[in-house]
Structure 1
Amino acid sequence: MVPTTEREGRWVIRSMLWVKKEVEAEQVPIDSPDVTAAVVRLPDRLVFTASVYVPGGDGQALQDICAKLRTAIKEIIAR
C-alpha cells in the first residue's frame, strides 16, 4: 500500500505498508502523501497501523500528522 495522496517532485512516496495476501486489510485514506494507513482485521479485533514520514525537526508537521491520525482512528471507531 502507498499513500492515498500524491506529491510532485523527487520523493513522491515516503511511506508504504506491506500486507500479506492472506491478511484482510483495508487501506485508510489519510490526506497526506507522507502517511500510509490501514486497518488489519483479526478474528477478535481491528488493528490500526500506519507508516509515517515526518521531516526531521519539523514539529508542526509532526503535530499535523498526529491530528490526521487521531481523526482517522476516531472515524474507524465510529463505524
Structure 2
Amino acid sequence: MSDGSTDIKGNPFLNFVFATPEPVFLKAIETKTKSPTAQYMAEVIGEVIDTIGSEKVHGLVTDHAANMKCAWPIKKKNPN
C-alpha cells in the first residue's frame, strides 16, 4: 500500500506498507523537495518494488489521486 501524508510540521511523505499477511511498515520517503508528478511516483514505486523483489509483489494499493492513476501506464516494467 502506498499513501501520501504529512507530518506534524506539514512536510509531505510517501508511505509504503506491505501485508505479509500482517501489515509491515517498509519506509516513508519525504517528498518535500520533489513535485509528486506521475513520473516521480512511478519511479519511487518502481524503486520500492525493486528493493523487495517484484516476485514478492502481487498487488499495489494507492489512492485515487490523478498522479497515481497516471503513474500506472508509466510503470509497466513490473507486469506482476
TM-score of the pair, normalised by structure 2: 0.34
Which one has more relative contact order, counting CA pairs under 8 Å at least 6 apart? 2
Q: Which has the higher helix share?
A: 2
Larger Rg: 1 or 2?
A: 1
